[in-house]
Structure 1
Amino acid sequence: MSRRDYVPDALLRLVLAGGATSARRRLLERHGTPEAALAAGPGGWRAAGMDEEQIHALSTPAPAPLAASRDWLAASTRHHLLGWDSPDYPPLLREGPNPPVGVFVDGDPALLWRPSVAVVGSRSPSAGGRDNAAAFARALSRAGIVVVSGMAAGIDAAAHEGVLGQPQGATIAVLGTGPDQAYPRRHAGLRERIATEGAVVSEHPPGTGAHPSHFPRRNRIIAALSLATLVIEAAERSGALITARQAIDSGRDVFAVPGSIHNPMARGCHRLIREGAGLVEHAGEVLDALAPQLSGLVRTLRGQLREAEQTPPDRPVRGMPGEDANYQKLWDALGHDPTGMDRLAERTGLTTAALSSMLLAMELDGRVSVEHGRYCRND
């Protein structure tokens, strides 16, 4: 779905209202669209559980944040806002605890639908821990897994760097700031590279700076977007352990890499292992453990695409699942030159969510290759 001409003011107002996300999600679920939710007025807002501060923010939105968010969304085809009401909202995030009303994305939103693993750990790792983070991330990426992390110093940055520049690598950074802000500031270049080759994600609007309360909340999004969380190095009191706990709360697997008993940055991993996290020494063990989920995910995505009745294509695409006319439409839109998601959406008229599911199935069938978020035929 191309959003270059669409600036969703009603959704922006709901996102910028702040406060409890559950009340705003309930409001959207009751009324169906952001526009209808706003039209419900203060009575409808209170009935959904919104407090007086939220009601005031919806009634009289602050003009500067609204204008800044609108300008950011309109500034680039790389900028998106995925709302709770949208079919493009990432399904794994929707299933997680306390999902946000909307997420801002700088980069390829289709990556949020692909199988991913969170790689997290200490901001002050050992040299070996940094090397392990890059090696695990690189190996997972080569297997077609998107690597998710928080762009923090240390293990997070090493994991992102391990993926960037890989021929088929993709990484997602979930920020505790706005999507346009780098924290720490020295990671401004890293943020831009991730946005160019992968995706930068935040529930906070553009221009939002760092605040201590944002980062534990950021960790729940990292955990929810991922099929599993891998902890490389972590002290006994560590934000990485918060992410691991939230992954468990989301019903996801947690893995940890053991270390020396003399390394204080290994104690958090050892604690997780004692409490039941999977001990892993190489990426293949993570992939083996996730194999049933990966297979199930592909079946689920294919099933979603078959829900509506489709007219069989005139020229079946060899090896494509089912007689789905949309697969043929997508195949015809692809070429031998790499093509981005926005262009495929324009050519086919399909949503990003549908395209992402179909391209994943085609990639796993060996029919499509992906490099830096751009797709081409294998024939």
Structure 2
Amino acid sequence: MRGQDEAAAWIALRGARGVGDVAAGRVIAHFGDVFAVLSAPEAALVAAGLTPAVAHAVRAARPEDAADEVTRLAAFGARVVPCTDDEYPALLRQVADAPLYLIARGERLLDAPALAVVGARHATPYGKDVAARFAEELAQAGVTVVSGLARGIDGAAHAGALRGGGPTVAVLGSGIDVVYPPEHVALADEIVRAGTLLSERPLGTPPLAEHFPARNRIIAGMTHGTLVVEAADRSGSQITARLAVDQGREVFAVPGRIDSPLSVGTHRLIQEGAKLVGSVEEILSEIAPALCARGVTMTPRAVAPPDDETLVPLLAAGPLAADELIRRSGLPPGQVLTRILDLELRGVLVQLPGKQFQLARR
């Protein structure tokens, strides 16, 4: 970013009448620079794919009109992250209708390995406990947990990730300065200190229902996969999961009681091909190959000794399941899963059918 002038230019472009994320992304790709877009002749904008009316609106856009918004964002401790910036999530950039820019408040961690954890607002105590435990272990393994700061599963996931010592990203369906629900203001403050709040909406935007499907595309789009913990039929969590499928990402679901309305959505997702999971280790084993293929490395928060003198000797006699490694090592499950993933990514061990692990041949 080149400072407030560039931030104002991005806001002015997106605010031009008739300009959506797809059209704006198209002209940015064509001209390569937001200032080049705003200074381009109308004929050149039409040649780049805009309608004459939209091209006229873009040509009339004035960055100075957005200067006050940029000043207020800076005063609030927030920043504009455009789609051309290195901080913008690389996976989100692949989505056809990705936001032209994001408003971020908190740490710079938007391109870390990430998993979405979503679910019912009116979650059961069991569901919230599962979401918190999974998020805690994911955080310990170096995975950033992304959710929507809603009541129920979302809030539990954010809290669990923070408890695990890792960052978490909350994507809002409102302006970055409007925390919803109000009882999550303290949680949002914790997230800002150790993670990031995100929004694509102007300051002061209320949390309207029509904003949440668009919010969900960001949650699904910036993550390597989506985990659903409790969801009613036709729920927002199902929408997020289906967006993840459309974007070529993994979808995981935790099964629930067959007589619970909050199991209908997760069970339907499993019927449609979501991976049934009962542990974080199952998720990590699925996403590790995708991370390796993309050249993404993970930094576990529980640091293992070089080549791990704890687990490697246990595997010297032959393959063992993760549960058995946890039992024999005497270490917390989160630490063992972190070390397994780290050793797998470094080529020290390989996973066998049946979720067993053995030392790699050298």
TM-score when scaled to structure 2?
0.76
1:125 aligned onto 2:139: no
Question: Measured at CA, do residues 196 and 4 of structure 1 come closer, stay the same or move farther in structure 2, by a change above 3 Å?
Answer: farther
Residues of 2 paired with 1:4 and 1:56: CA distance? Answer: 24
Q: Which residue of 1 aligns with 2:60?
A: 59
Question: Measured at CA, do residues 54 and 102 of structure 1 come closer, stay the same or move farther in structure 2, by a change above 3 Å?
Answer: farther
Q: Which residue of 1 aligns with 2:337?
A: none
Residues of 2 paired with 1:194 and 1:4: CA distance? Answer: 25
Specify the SS of the correspondent of 1:213: helix
Residues of 2 paired with 1:72 and 1:176: CA distance? Answer: 19
Q: Which residue of 1 aligns with 2:72?
A: 72
Shift of 1:85: 2.6
1:189 paired residue among 164, 177, 186: 186
Shift of 1:171: 0.3
Question: Measured at CA, do residues 19 and 5 of structure 1 come closer, stay the same or move farther in structure 2, by a change above 3 Å?
Answer: closer
Residues paired across the two proteins, number: 300
Question: Measured at CA, do residues 4 and 62 of structure 1 come closer, stay the same or move farther in structure 2, by a change above 3 Å?
Answer: closer
Question: Measured at CA, do residues 20 and 13 of structure 1 come closer, stay the same or move farther in structure 2, by a change above 3 Å?
Answer: same
Deviations 1:227-260 (A, max 9, x none): 0100000001100000000000110000000000
Question: Measured at CA, do residues 246 and 271 of structure 1 come closer, stay the same or move farther in structure 2, by a change above 3 Å?
Answer: same
Question: For residue 57 of structure 2, what is the amino acid of its counterpart?
Answer: H
Question: Measured at CA, do residues 104 and 55 of structure 1 come closer, stay the same or move farther in structure 2, by a change above 3 Å?
Answer: farther
Question: Measured at CA, do residues 54 and 238 of structure 1 come closer, stay the same or move farther in structure 2, by a change above 3 Å?
Answer: farther
Question: Measured at CA, do residues 62 and 212 of structure 1 come closer, stay the same or move farther in structure 2, by a change above 3 Å?
Answer: farther
Q: Which residue of 1 aligns with 2:144?
A: 146
1:277 aligned onto 2:274: yes
Residues of 2 paired with 1:83 and 1:43: CA distance? Answer: 25
Deviations 1:259-303 (A, max 9, x none): 0011100110000101110000111110111111122233699xx
Residues of 1 paired with 2:200 and 2:145: CA distance? Answer: 19
TM-score when scaled to structure 1?
0.73
Specify the SS of the correspondent of 1:113: coil
Question: Measured at CA, do residues 99 and 5 of structure 1 come closer, stay the same or move farther in structure 2, by a change above 3 Å?
Answer: closer
Specify the SS of the correspondent of 1:164: helix
Shift of 1:153: 1.0
Question: Measured at CA, do residues 5 and 58 of structure 1 come closer, stay the same or move farther in structure 2, by a change above 3 Å?
Answer: closer
Shift of 1:54: 7.5
Question: For residue 273 of structure 1, what is the amino acid of its counterpart?
Answer: I
Q: Which residue of 1 aligns with 2:106?
A: 107
1:175 aligned onto 2:172: yes
In the alignment, is the contact (CA less than 8 A) between 1:7 and 1:70 conserved in 2? no
Residues of 1 paired with 2:163 and 2:4: CA distance? Answer: 31
Deviations 1:154-209 (A, max 9, x none): 11111001112433x11001111112211122222222221221001111122222
Specify the SS of the correspondent of 2:295: helix
In the alignment, is the contact (CA less than 8 A) between 2:137 and 2:164 conserved in 1? no
Specify the SS of the correspondent of 2:102: strand
- Structural RMSD (CA): 2.6
In the alignment, is the contact (CA less than 8 A) between 1:20 and 1:50 conserved in 2? no
Specify the SS of the correspondent of 2:110: helix
Residues of 1 paired with 2:144 and 2:186: CA distance? Answer: 20
Deviations 1:325-345 (A, max 9, x none): xxxxxxxxxxxxxxxxxxxxx
In the alignment, is the contact (CA less than 8 A) between 2:135 and 2:164 conserved in 1? no
Q: Which residue of 2 aligns with 1:224?
A: 221
Unmatched 5+ stretches in structure 2 = 299-305, 307-341, 347-362
In the alignment, is the contact (CA less than 8 A) between 1:29 and 1:85 conserved in 2? no
Unmatched 5+ stretches in structure 1 = 302-318, 320-360, 366-379
Q: Which residue of 1 aligns with 2:329?
A: none
Question: For residue 20 of structure 1, what is the amino acid of its counterpart?
Answer: G
In the alignment, is the contact (CA less than 8 A) between 2:113 and 2:144 conserved in 1? yes
How does 1:323-334 map onto structure 2 within 5 Å? none
Q: Tell me which structure has the larger Cα radius of gyration.
A: 2
Shift of 1:36: 0.6
Q: Which residue of 2 aligns with 1:348?
A: none
In the alignment, is the contact (CA less than 8 A) between 1:118 and 1:226 conserved in 2? yes
Q: Which residue of 2 aligns with 1:166?
A: 164
Q: Which residue of 2 aligns with 1:93?
A: 92
Question: For residue 60 of structure 2, what is the amino acid of its counterpart?
Answer: S
Residues of 1 paired with 2:42 and 2:126: CA distance? Answer: 56
How does 1:1-379 map onto structure 2 within 5 Å? 8-17=7-16, 19-50=19-50, 52=53, 55-56=56-57, 59-60=60-61, 66-75=66-75, 78-109=77-108, 111-167=109-165, 169-298=166-295
Residues of 2 paired with 1:100 and 1:47: CA distance? Answer: 23
In the alignment, is the contact (CA less than 8 A) between 1:232 and 1:257 conserved in 2? yes
Question: For residue 251 of structure 2, what is the amino acid of its counterpart?
Answer: V
Identity among equivalent pairs (%): 42
Residues of 2 paired with 1:136 and 1:235: CA distance? Answer: 20
Question: Measured at CA, do residues 149 and 180 of structure 1 come closer, stay the same or move farther in structure 2, by a change above 3 Å?
Answer: same
In the alignment, is the contact (CA less than 8 A) between 2:22 and 2:96 conserved in 1? no
Shift of 1:8: 2.3
Residues of 1 paired with 2:100 and 2:23: CA distance? Answer: 10
Question: Measured at CA, do residues 44 and 73 of structure 1 come closer, stay the same or move farther in structure 2, by a change above 3 Å?
Answer: farther
Deviations 1:332-375 (A, max 9, x none): xxxxxxxxxxxxxxxxxxxxxxxxxxxxx9xx88xxxxxxxxxx
